[in-house]
A and B are shown apart, each in its own frame.
Chain A
């Protein structure tokens, strides 16, 4: 059948593609408490990370069947939960410590960029895409995406009164995908504060993972696009720094088929929550298709489920952190 001559461009949805590397490797995530303990702590962290970076590179090369797979590195600084220091002070320090450890940071992101980037409400748009995993018996009558701000991997405990009124019988929660026994998890996605909605760390980390996997779009356009800093010295205010800073002209693309995140083992619970969230996000179908087609074409087909594309290395906390915590 011949195509129609008449077209209305507004009618045809269009998803713009983004360049993709094989692996997006996150070298660190800096919080105020890490910074406060001094540059030694950062140095310790990066020296430890260096060991695992080599392993992650080797793994990506083996998987892609290439000597030099496209790998980009990124680093995240928290400027959302607590504001500390300034880009002028902190960014050169991070870059210098990375260089000392033999590492190159290709992209540097601000955590608040996962909330709003270039005036686009990323966290909110991901929230609209949550499709809760239905416990058995869900036939469409449950209200859609919880208005409670919590997301679980199963059915919560529902206190029910027994026939004899006063006694409340306890019902255990149940993980939907349990194997014999449940590991039930309930994740707080946001809380309401005087200053508005405060997104939780796991939720923002899920947005961050989606950005690194090249699966975020706004009206079909890429979001959180890396921008270089051309203004000389880094600014004194975090808001003046682009949400995602490109630091290396010759770097592989920021987004990738897979992610690998290197972090201290205290983040294990947070990242488990991130996977729970990723497993319940209905991502842009066009973006998903583009990644599937291109990765298959390169012979490195990605897992169908998005959460499976994120991998981690959890390493032992540097010793001086524990010492400083004790003092």
Chain B
């Protein structure tokens, strides 16, 4: 019994974030965002208005009892709960995350379910946890029958995008991105670090981190949601720019193609706006190389230049046509 109340010393926290455009013609205001994200009747949706409108659902749990994904084929059974939650930024970008923490080892028998429930978001291994192999397994993605964070995050996303509040009229087409992350415990006395951010194909990104034991799993999830949001913004705006065929397309067509970015996305860039203060500085790594904000500013500048050029050429065309 005493065992059940003991805090879990987790050595690994893993998750997957799915990011997409909200399928709604208008962005949602705070009230509607809270309504959308009310996953539980009696619990608060966290609503923040500074420095941008950001809403986050209460956490919900999914019970699991299955093999953990491992990169080396080790068969490790895990039992516990996966936490999932959703966030909406500026009423426009929807994200869902599924994540769990795991201790270094666990008992070889399944305990009464109530004992797992009082440690929400913890999955206990049967026996010893192969830490690196599990972290790699999660980043690689679950195989058949293995604990599938992506499926849990996707399940919540599907549930939300079908909400009757949404008219299914997305203002433009864009792809979803998946960001998988794994945070191993940092060595004693060391601070958090961002070891690797990998841009893979098909909208998949992977992040490897190290965090001290004192950092809550939810804070790591928050950082990764922030990374995923900004990576999605870069990916989406880049895609819009490419599709606009800058220079090649004629003026009005290019303006039309760029317009969604201006209307819906350019004001969303705000790294670490809702990231736990102990982890905010991990952004610095990405700002140094490859320079997320540098790339964003370049993209924004190109869009503005293009629109300015179009505006000038329209006025000059207009004035020259009146002078003749």
Contacts and interface: CB of A to CB of B under 8 A. Distances in A.
A206 B41 CA distance: 17
**Residue of A1, A121, A133, A136 most packed against chain B (CB within 10 A):** A133
Contact of A219 (B42, B67, B79, B278): B42
Nearest to B34: A10
B222 interface: no
Interface stretch (B108-116, B195-203, B258-266): B108-116
Nearest to B47: A10
Interface of B: 1-5, 39-44, 46-50, 60-67, 77, 79, 81-82, 98, 110, 112-115, 117-118, 120, 142, 145-149, 151-152, 155, 277-278
Nearest to A134: B63
Nearest to A216: B42
Contacts of A121: 41
A292 B114 CA distance: 15
A141 interface: yes
A240 B5 CA distance: 41
Contacts of B110: 136, 176-177
A305 B148 contact: no
A144 B152 CA distance: 10
Given A8-B50, A10-B46, A125-B41, A305 B65 contact: no
Interface string A271-312: 000000011111111001000100000000111111110000
Interface of A: 1, 4, 6, 8, 10-13, 120-121, 124-125, 128-129, 131-141, 143-144, 176-177, 217-220, 223, 278-285, 288, 292, 301-308
A122 B85 CA distance: 22
A137 B118 CA distance: 21
Nearest to A2: B277
Contacts of A281: 117
Contacts of B81: 131, 282
28 contacts: A1-B278, A8-B49, A8-B50, A121-B41, A125-B41, A129-B40, A131-B60, A131-B61, A131-B117, A133-B63, A135-B65, A139-B145, A140-B64, A140-B148, A140-B152, A140-B155, A144-B60, A177-B112, A219-B43, A223-B42, A282-B61, A282-B120, A284-B43, A285-B120, A303-B5, A304-B3, A306-B117, A307-B114
B46 A139 contact: no
A307 B115 CA distance: 9
B121 to A, nearest CB: 10
Contacts of B61: 131, 282
Given A1-B278, A131-B81, A176-B110, A125 B50 contact: no
Nearest to B4: A304
Contacts of B43: 219, 284
Contacts of B65: 134-138, 176
Contact of B44 (A177, A219, A280, A307): A219
B50 A6 contact: yes
Given A219-B43, A304-B118, A1 B50 contact: no
Nearest to B48: A11
Given A8-B49, A132-B63, A219-B44, A306 B114 contact: yes
B160 to A, nearest CB: 13
A41 to B, nearest CB: 35
A10 B48 contact: yes
Nearest to A307: B114
A8 B64 CA distance: 35
B117 A120 contact: no
A305 B116 CA distance: 8
A141 B1 contact: no
Contacts of B114: 278-280, 304-308
B155 A144 contact: yes
A302 B1 CA distance: 9
**Residue of B48, B65, B113, B149 most packed against chain A (CB within 10 A):** B113
A303 B66 contact: no
B41 A124 contact: yes
A188 B217 CA distance: 35
A69 B44 CA distance: 35
Given A136-B66, A140-B98, A144-B62, 15 more contacts: A125-B42, A128-B40, A133-B113, A134-B66, A138-B66, A139-B66, A140-B66, A140-B151, A177-B110, A217-B42, A219-B44, A279-B114, A301-B5, A303-B5, A305-B115
